[in-house]
């Protein structure tokens, strides 16, 4: 199992430029809107999910979505599924909303890709570079929301916001999630699901 302790310590979510600043600002507003739109109480975790995908015309696009789960849903559905707590595919809302639903966020993501020179049509396009840059902005947004107290105000406690790349659980998900949250909100099962040891 991989030890990501040093990677967490060295993770930098400071914007490189005004385009990162604009994306972090848009994501912060979008995540806040999502948190305040959740109709249930008892939410114990949420997630920002991101992947690059092909549209119906085989053009690359960025796809960001929001997910959450409740303690009641977990209690009723965890039997026989040891990953039910952290695997967002088993959550009550694994696709609660898409960033494209917000015109402002959709436009901001497209502009960010364009002005950062992430040319998805280039044969040397590096998806991992885009992912690290996107989650740097998302981590910054979540950290600021936690500092502002939005989760405490809405749920009466802090909750972890997972940062999930694609449908699998690579080590990067553990790194991004640990960077965005107080590590005490996550547990050994989450890190092991991502192929990592619990950070020191």
Q: Which residues contact 53 (CB under 8 A, 6 or more apart)?
A: 60, 61, 63
Alpha-carbon 130 to chain mean position: 14
Q: What is the pLDDT of residues 143-195, one digit of tens each?
A: 999 999 999 999 999 999 999 998 777 899 999 999 999 999 999 999 999 99
**Cβ pair 166, 87 in contact under 8 A:** no
**DSSP-derived 3-state class of residue 126:** coil
Q: What is the pLDDT of residues 10-25, one digit of tens each?
A: 888 888 999 999 999 9
Alpha-carbon 36 to chain mean position: 17
Residue 60 DSSP symbol: E
Q: 10 Å Cβ neighbour count for 122?
A: 10
Largest CA distance in the chain: 48
The predicted structure's pLDDT at residue 132: 93
Q: What is the pLDDT of residues 115-147, one digit of tens each?
A: 888 876 777 778 888 899 999 999 999 999 999
The predicted structure's pLDDT at residue 58: 67
Length of the chain: 200
Q: Which residues contact 119 (CB under 8 A, 6 or more apart)?
A: 125
CA angle 159, 162, 164 (to 5 degrees): 165
Tokens of 156: 């009466």
**DSSP-derived 3-state class of residue 44:** strand
The predicted structure's pLDDT at residue 118: 80
Tokens of 102: 């917000």
């Amino acid at each position: 199992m991989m030890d990501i302790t040093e990677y967490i310590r060295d993770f930098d979510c400071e914007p490189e430029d005004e385009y990162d600043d604009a994306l972090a600002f848009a994501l912060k507003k979008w995540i806040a809107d999502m948190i305040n739109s959740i109709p249930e109480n008892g939410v114990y975790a949420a997630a920002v999910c991101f992947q690059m995908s092909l549209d119906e015309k085989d053009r690359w696009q960025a796809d960001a979505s929001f997910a959450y789960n409740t303690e009641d849903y977990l209690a009723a559905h965890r039997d026989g599924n040891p990953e039910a707590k952290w695997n967002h595919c088993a959550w009550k809302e694994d696709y609660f909303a898409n960033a494209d639903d917000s015109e402002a966020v959709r436009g901001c993501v497209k502009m960010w890709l364009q002005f950062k020179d992430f040319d998805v049509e280039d044969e040397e396009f590096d998806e991992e570079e885009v992912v690290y840059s996107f989650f740097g902005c998302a981590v910054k947004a979540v950290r600021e929301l936690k500092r502002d107290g939005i989760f405490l105000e809405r749920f009466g406690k802090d909750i972890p916001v997972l940062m999930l790349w694609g449908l699998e659980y690579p080590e990067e998900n553990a790194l991004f999630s640990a960077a965005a949250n107080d590590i005490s909100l996550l547990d050994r099962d989450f890190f092991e699901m991502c192929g990592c040891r619990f950070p020191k």
